[in-house]
Amino acid sequence: MTQESLPAIDGLIEVMNRLRAKDGGCPWDLAQTFDTIAPYTIEESYEVADAIARKDMRDLKEELGDLLFQVVFHSHLAKEQGLFDFHDVAQTMTDKLIRRHPHVFGDVGDRTADEQNAAWEVVKAEERKAKAKHGILDDVPVGLPALTRAAKLTKRAARVGFDWPSTDEVFAKLEEEVAELKVELVAGDADKARAELGDILFVVANLARKIDAEPEDALRGTNAKFVRRFETIEAELAKIGKTPEQSDLAEMDALWNKAKVAERDR
C-alpha cells in the first residue's frame, strides 16, 4: 500500500517511521530526542494560536498539521523506547474525555456549564490522587508561559480559599510591590529588583484571573496594538522622508498619540 492510499493519520505515522528509520532515514530526525523536540512543540502551539488570532483559516490548517506532527514525533520516540505509541495516546485521550463527561457518555443528567466545570475539577482531583499527586499545585505544568502558569497557580489556590476577597486587595498589593521595586532600584540591587518585578507580574496575573482575563491573551493584544501604532509612526515619518532613527521621542510620541486617537475614532 502506498503512502497516498493510507488513511491520513496512518500515512503521517508511516512518514514518521521512514524519517526515523536507521537505514535511509533523515539524519536530523534521527538525532532528535524528547528534550530537543519540546521547544518546537511549544513553538507550534503558539503558531496555532497566532493563526487563530489572525483568523487565517488556511494557516490554521497548516499549523494544526505541524502541531499534530509534534504529537506523532513524541509518540514515535516513546514507541522506540517501548513506552507507548500514537494509538495509546489517542486512546488515553478518548478514555479521559469519556470519564470527564458522564453527563454525555454516562447516566448523569444534564448539566449547566458551571456545574460541568465544578464536576470537572472533582474528577481532575481524583485523577491527581490516582497519580500520587496530592498537592493542589502538583500538576500545573512548569513549561507553561510564566504569566499563564501564575494565573493557573492562583486559580488553583483560590479553590481552597487562598485568595483575595476582591480586586481592591489585589490593587493594594500591586501598589505595595511597585513601591518595593522602586526601593531596590534606588538601592541599585539588580537581583532584588528582578525578584520584585517578578512579584509585580505575579500580582498582575492574579488580577487578570480576578477579572476573568487570560494574561497572555491580554498581553498579546497589547503587543499587537503596539506594533500597529509603531507601524503608523513609521508610515507617517516616511511621508516626510524620515525614519525613526532620524526622528526624536517628542515627534514620535506625538505621532503615537495621533495613532491612538485615530483608533478610538474608528
What is the per-residue pLDDT across 33-49, written as a single tens digit (0 to 9) for each? 999 999 899 899 989 98
Between CA 105 and CA 116 the distance in angstroms is: 13
Shared-domain flag, residues 30 and 94: yes
The verdict on 89 and 115 lying in the same domain is no
- 184 and 223 inside one domain: no
Q: Per the structure block, which three cell numbers stand in for 84?
A: 507507548
94 plus 149 within the same structural domain: no
- Is 44 found in the same domain as 74? yes
Which helix (DSSP H) or strand (DSSP E) does residue 153 occupy? Answer: helix 146-158
Residue range 173-195: average pLDDT? 97
What percentage of the chain exceeds 90 in pLDDT? 70
| 15: its cell numbers | 512518514
Reported as a single tens digit per residue, the pLDDT across 137-172 is 888 888 888 999 999 999 989 988 999 999 999 999
Predicted local distance difference test score (pLDDT) of residue 1: 46
Residue with the larger pLDDT of the pair 115 and 229:
229
In CATH, what number is assigned to the domain containing residue 143?
Answer: 1.10.287.1080
Q: Are 80 and 20 contained in the same domain?
A: yes
DSSP state of 201: H
Q: Do 203 and 184 belong to one domain?
A: yes
Place of cell 505575579: 202
pTM of the model: 0.63
Asked if residue 83 and residue 158 are part of one domain, the reply reads no
What cell numbers appear for 93 in the block?
485521550
How confident is residue 131, by pLDDT bands cut at 50, 70 and 90?
Answer: low
pLDDT at residue 111 is higher than 80 = no
How many residues are recorded in the chain? 266
Cα 19 to Cα 30: distance, rounded to the nearest angstrom: 7
What is the domain count for the chain?
4
Q: Which of 72-81, 104-113, 128-137: highest mean pLDDT?
A: 72-81
The grid cell for 136 is 493542589
Asked if residue 266 has pLDDT above 80, the reply is no
Chain-centroid distance, C-alpha 256: 29
Whether 206 and 245 share a structural domain: no
Residues 80 and 120 in one domain: no
Domain that holds residue 259: 217-265
Give me the percent of the chain exceeding a pLDDT of 70: 91
Left, alpha or beta for 242 (phi > 0: left; psi -120 to 50: alpha)? beta
Cα–Cα distance measured from residue 109 to residue 38, given in angstroms and rounded to the nearest whole number: 40
| pLDDT one-digit tens code per residue, 48-70 | 988 998 899 999 999 999 999 99
Residues 67 and 53 reside in one and the same domain: yes
Residue 122 and residue 92 share a domain: no
Residue with cell 505541524: 66
Q: Report how far residue 101's alpha carbon sits from residue 119's, in angstroms, rounded to the nearest whole number.
A: 9
